[in-house]
Structure 1
Amino acid sequence: MISVRRILVILAVAFTAYLAARGLWWTEPIPYPAIVVTTLGFYLVSTWLCIWWDPGAHDAARHSRQLPVWACVIALADAVIVPSAVAVGVGAASRTESFATWYLGGIGALMTIVMVRRRPWIAWIGIAALGIASMVWMGPPAALALGLVGSVVWVALAQLLVMSTDRAAADTEHLAQLQRAASAWQASQTVRQRERRVQVQRALATAGPVLARTIATSGMLTDAERADARLAEGSLRDELRGGRLLDDVVRAELDAARRRGAHVTMLDEGGLEALDDASLGLIRAELASTLRDASSERLYIRTSPHDSVAVTVVGRSGSGQGLSDEDAVDLWREIALPPRD
């Protein structure tokens, strides 16, 4: 399939060939035809090199199609040499004839190509060189009337087009980033909704039987049923406040701690959001081991936003009367963050 770029390249080659061919349509004898023909050949070769040269065409990264420095030097040499060579070759009597003024459009087209290839300073220097040379050989009025103004306009329009294209590309990239961010947010919301549904289902499975029994007995529960209700309440609080720390083993250890009479408080204060499942699994396993060995009357489990600590487990026993707060602490365990690759 023919791309838009290939079509533009073909048009540029055809247009520059047409401009150069005008230089061969002599309507009268010229003093140095060899100079004119050589100049035309030099112009076509250098111009087509600027059009076709694209070392990044097969590069997967698709780097910017900026014209290489050596090609810029050749283009500037065209702008300096071609006007003077043509003026000398056709002679003083024919310098304003159509076959002698083709370089006004030809160099203008070349500098337009240089501008499109993202070398604006080179393009404007080339236009300045063209303007100086053409005015010297044929005079300012003739140069301006025979094509110099058009070349300046071409280069200016090319620069505006390049700037507009770059701005459109930047806007497109920005919109793509916003779209990716929106997609990521939507995916995260979907995951959170799924997690909430799982939590609701687990809450119903945990508290449903107790609530049904409470309604059926009008609140007249036995001691065992009241204990089950307290356990269900604690489990629900764990699910709501510390869901990232929970798995089946941790839930079992929390239930065992409450059944032996311990009061357990769990709170997720952040710091675990960036961890993967493997790291969370290590933290949960260490937390379950800590709970299994704990004998404190009150257990406080909190996540930590610290750079090296994931979870802090504090256990306290006794009434604390006659003892300082530090003396009442009989368990202090900091679970470190797993090392990251």
Structure 2
Amino acid sequence: MLKFLCGVLLTLGMVVGSCAQAASVLFLNPGTPTEAFWVSYSQFMQAAATDLGMDLRIQYSDRVSENTIQQAREALQGSHRPDYLIFVNEQYIAPEILRLAKGSGVKLFMVNNALTADQMKLIGARPDKYPDLLGSLVPNDEEGGYLMLKELIRQHGPVAPGQTIELLAFSGLKITPSAQYREKGLRRALAEHPEVRLRQLVYGGWTRQRAYEQARLLLKRYPQTSLVWAANDEMAFGVMQAYVEAGGVPGKGVLFGAINNSPAALQALLDRRLSVLLGGHFTLGGWALVQLHDYDEGVDISQYGGRDRQVPLLQLINREQARRLLEMGAAQDFGVDFHKFSAKGRPASWRYPFTLQTLMH
């Protein structure tokens, strides 16, 4: 209605402040305000919102799924509803949010973890059943887990016949799709390398403290460990702390691999304490805003790569890229012109170029 009135007033040559009302977006961040990954994620989103003229609010749930559901309930059923709600299917909460959103008029978009195949079957998630669910953007988590182990093995080098390379793996939360996919990638790489022996895989819950406690026991139990695969940087740092306390030098006796490009992780790669680092998916929320801005401008976003997309954002980061990313992170706006990524006015063959490479040009 507001848009219709604005159109009428503009035709009459009347300029009214509220007509230029920015699209309002609420992002339910599943992390904590002190977690490096989710903080950089929010900062990148804020840079996109500022550049695109969108009104963005971010609420953290401190990794408690009940908090996210409560925040969603207040946003979807309260009197100040956002135009768009962006959320993560962390701990399988998406169906509950879809249920809460029915009839609210709020458009939904999922990032990082979309509906699982089982959830799709269960709720019959067809576009016509949930017309307010505009789509999802997820990273290539399975490939990320695979690439990390492959690169750790490559850097370790070959072993004599009959010898093994001992590995410890630290996954996130069992009930988070991204952790499951990264673990699946790890298993795919293991199947290709019979010389690598996975001594134990544990769930560090994405946290430094938990992984540190687990590693203190595991490093004693498996003193021949030479590779550590960690599904995020926080857990890698926890394991590293336990290793250093036991007298080890990260990058010498044990090679560490992790995912995320927090400033600390990028610095650890430059210092060679981390041997392998993958990242790029901190940009997903910003790219989601580009799509929502396009949708708000009347663009059919499904034409330019599909409603639900997996984006190959997770990639191996070399030391030169790590330096560049550290510089970008230091700039408030990341030095990115987000309008350049818009599909507005593009030919039908065009696709959203959401990769780390295009970001760094």
The answer, yes or no, to whether TM exceeds 0.5 is: no
Q: Which has the higher contact order (CA 8 A, sep 6+)?
A: 2
Structure with greater helix share of residues: 1
Tell me the TM-score normalised to structure 1 length. Answer: 0.21
Tell me the TM-score normalised to structure 2 length. Answer: 0.20
